[in-house]
Structures are given as C-alpha cells and as structure tokens.
A = this chain, B = another copy of it.
Amino acid sequence: MKVAIMGFGVVGSGVAEVIAQNADHIRAHSLVDLSLSHILDIRDFPGSAFAPYMTKDVNDILSDDETKIVVETMGGVEPAFTFVSACLQKGKHVVTSNKELVAKKGDVLLALARANNVNFLFEAAVGGGIPIIRPLTICLAANRIREIAGILNGTTNFILSKMITDNMDFQTALRLAQEKGYAEKDPTADVEGIDACRKICILASLATGSHIYPDGILTEGITKLTKDDVAYAEAFGCVIKLIARAKTLENGRWCVTVSPALVPKTHMLAGVNDVFNACFVRGDMVGDVLLYGQGAGKLATASAVVADAIDCAQHSDKRRIYGWGEAKDGVLADPMEAPVRLFVRAKTSGKAADTAKLLSALSGCEVADSADGDLVFITPEAKEKDLRDALAPFDAASVIRLF
C-alpha cells in the first residue's frame, strides 16, 4: 500500500521515519504493507535519506493511482485544504495531523470523504500520539458524551509546570520553553489558547455531530497569570492548568471554552505535568475516562498518523464511520450562562471596610489568607454572568474559573 506525504516538516519527516523503521513490525502485526511513494515539499532536502521521494508538484501524487493513502502534515489551512480536497476527490484516503485544517474545514472535508467513499482520519490532530479520537468515537460509542475536558497544549502545560514547581514567572518559563524547542519564536497560538481551542472544537464536533468552529469560542490564554495566582491557587489546594472544556448544560446545550482553571490536586488532571497532555471524557454509561501521554513530539505524533494510515489500508474498501456534519443552530450555549465558581484576586486598600464592601457583593465566599492589600477568595457557584456583574465595580487583578 503506497503512502504519500505532503509536508516534510517535524511530523512529516517523523512519519517517513516510523514507516521506514517499523514497516516489518506493521506487516507482521497489522497485516499491512506500507511503503512511501512521494514526499511533497517546496523545500530541498539534498542530504536526506528520503531525497529520492521528494517532489514539488502535488500532481505527482494526484496522478499516481497506486498511491491510495495521502498523509497531510503541512499545517495551516492553505494550500493544505486545496490539496486534501483534490486527494479525496481522486478517491484517496487522507490522514492528517493538521488541527487547524480539521477545526476550520472538517465539515467540508468529511462530506467530501463520504461522497467519495474514502476515509479522512485525524487521530494525530488532538493529543499528538495519545489515543483520543478512536476511544471517544468508537470505544465510547454506546455513551452519550456529557463532558470532555483536557490539557491539550503541551507548551502551556510546560510553562505552567515551571511556574508551579520552580516558582518561575511567565516570561522566564516561556523563554525556557523556547530554548527547549517546546515553544515557537512566535508563541501566540500556544500561549493564547488558540491551539487548544482548535483541539477542543474537534472533540466537541465529534461529541455533538455538529461542526463547532473555533471562531466565537471563549478562548483565554495564560499570559496574564502571575506567580501570585499560582501561590494562592496552592493555598486552595489547587494547581492552575489551561483547560479546554466542552460540557453539556442542563438545557442540553454545549458550553465550549478554553481558559486557565484551578484544578484540585486530587483530580487526575492536576498530576499532568510538563509537556504531557491528558483528556478526560465523561460518558453517561462509562463514567469518567482519562487518556494521558505525550501530546506532541515528532515520533509520538507521527505514530498516530501512521496508525491512521494502517487503519485506512485495513479498511480501504470501507469507510470508518465517524465524523460530523454541518454546524447546527442551538448546539452551543453562551458560556456566561453556565454555572461556575470563580477564584478572584483583588487589590484593596488593606482596610477592613474595603474588604467587607467587596465581599458583601457576593455571599458565601471562601477567603484565603493573603498579603496586605490582596483580597483572595473563591465565589460560591452561580451563573458566570451574575458573578461577573457583581465583581464589575471592583478592580480584580485576576479572575480564574474553577475546574
């Protein structure tokens, strides 16, 4: 079974390596014979062991009838979308690790795959090498999914881990992440929660059956978190994590958010450190399930891509039945309508009267011991909009949701 790769970056070159190194194992265990046909990239790789496969013309792949499976690891929407569409229309199975493509164009590409009776698989787009898409859609197929929540971005989890365990501030931890190659030179997509948002949109689309676009999803990053926030979270027995979450409210609508959250140390997600990712799923029958592992990395992510390619090869005449349809009205809730507890850190004059005034706006708060001039508390559970309204007159330095 011939496989072409579009995009010879970190993941794409990893896919080539995994196929080269483990082809005999895959043949023995999965009864599938994978071999490379073409590698598409605009760059030259003269010294590479894979140089003989290189092409700069996508038509070499499109016109090769022996290439039944195409791996897309280019990243970004274009030209990936155009190339993937063309492959599907040519009756080729497509496997991708490109979360931006799936989050923004999944509905169109899944429809195209259905129309051409081929697979469009994307296990590697969420959680890198961690099995998430199949467990959610196949293993938990008998469940109504009630909630999905995860640490889906390794870069921010590394930064937060350093802030928590090594008392670093955000900028220092970010620089360390960049030195280690965990963060890009422009870290915006990671630290502002954009990457995590794309991933939770993919998972929420699978759970609801309706495409959920990243635009319009409440997305907060970690750039404003301070060492004080981390320390006060600790005082409440919590750690701060960037949590991507999709949960059903009582009215049946889905609340989808990405934001920092205080996670109690007793929760399994609190123990997920460094670049590791984890995704927690709640089904009505199975209860809580957690999937944990390396959420990124060349070979880990590539191994998920190759697993999808193996599945395509095993089911080349039969489409895998999962995915979603067009975006439907009435699926999403306004997150401000959801019940929540908020951690609040406010600067006060230090006078008891000021403190009393702030707390009187909300009854039943849990107040932490704090340094002079800081008032730190956790609100009781209420509709987020009502809590925000009550806090509006005061100058809160930090407002962070509780998980």
| A276 vs B359: C-alpha distance when bound (angstroms) | 40
Q: Assuming A292-B292, A307-B141, A321-B31, is B297 touching A287 (CB within 8 A)? A: yes
| A316 vs B22: C-alpha distance when bound (angstroms) | 30
Q: Assuming A135-B135, A141-B30, A292-B290, is B285 touching A299 (CB within 8 A)? A: yes
A235 contacts B by Cβ under 8 Å: no
| A141 vs B299: C-alpha distance when bound (angstroms) | 13
Q: Are A131 and B142 in contact (CB under 8 A)?
A: no
Residues of B within 8 A of A143 (CB): 22, 303
Q: Are B288 and A294 in contact (CB under 8 A)?
A: yes
Shortest distance from the beta carbon of A282 to any chain B beta carbon, whole Å: 10
Shortest distance from the beta carbon of A317 to any chain B beta carbon, whole Å: 8
| A317 vs B319: C-alpha distance when bound (angstroms) | 12
Residues of B within 8 A of A142 (CB): 18, 22, 26, 302-304, 306-307, 310
**Residue of chain B at shortest CB distance from A30:** B141
Q: Assuming A134-B134, A142-B306, A304-B139, is B286 touching A268 (CB within 8 A)? A: no
Q: Assuming A141-B310, A209-B28, is B294 touching A292 (CB within 8 A)? A: no
A130 contacts B by Cβ under 8 Å: yes
Residues of B within 8 A of A29 (CB): 141, 209
Residues of B within 8 A of A382 (CB): none
CB under 8 Å from chain B, chain A span 172-228: 209
Q: Assuming A22-B142, A30-B141, is B290 touching A294 (CB within 8 A)? A: no
A123 contacts B by Cβ under 8 Å: yes
| A329 vs B311: C-alpha distance when bound (angstroms) | 30
**Residue of chain B at shortest CB distance from A297:** B287
**Residue of chain B at shortest CB distance from A280:** B292
Shortest distance from the beta carbon of A34 to any chain B beta carbon, whole Å: 9
Q: Are B286 and A303 in contact (CB under 8 A)?
A: yes
Shortest distance from the beta carbon of A145 to any chain B beta carbon, whole Å: 9
A138 contacts B by Cβ under 8 Å: yes
| A165 vs B297: C-alpha distance when bound (angstroms) | 37
A383 contacts B by Cβ under 8 Å: no
A168 contacts B by Cβ under 8 Å: no
Shortest distance from the beta carbon of A316 to any chain B beta carbon, whole Å: 10
Q: Are A268 and B294 in contact (CB under 8 A)?
A: no
Q: Are B307 and A140 in contact (CB under 8 A)?
A: yes
A300 contacts B by Cβ under 8 Å: yes
**Residue of chain B at shortest CB distance from A34:** B142
A7 contacts B by Cβ under 8 Å: no
Residues of B within 8 A of A318 (CB): 315, 317-318
Interface string of A15-52 (1 = CB under 8 A from B): 00010001001101111000000000000000000000
Shortest distance from the beta carbon of A110 to any chain B beta carbon, whole Å: 13
Shortest distance from the beta carbon of A31 to any chain B beta carbon, whole Å: 6
Q: Are B287 and A293 in contact (CB under 8 A)?
A: yes
Q: Are A144 and B25 in contact (CB under 8 A)?
A: yes
CB under 8 Å from chain B, chain A span 305-360: 306-307, 310-311, 314-315, 317-318, 321-322
A283 contacts B by Cβ under 8 Å: yes
A291 contacts B by Cβ under 8 Å: yes
A-B contact pairs, 12 of them (CB 8 A): A25-B144, A26-B142, A130-B286, A131-B139, A134-B135, A138-B310, A283-B303, A285-B303, A288-B293, A289-B291, A290-B292, A315-B315
Can you list the 8 inter-chain pairs with the closest CB atoms, starting with the nearest? Answer: A131-B139, A142-B306, A285-B303, A131-B135, A129-B286, A289-B293, A290-B292, A285-B299
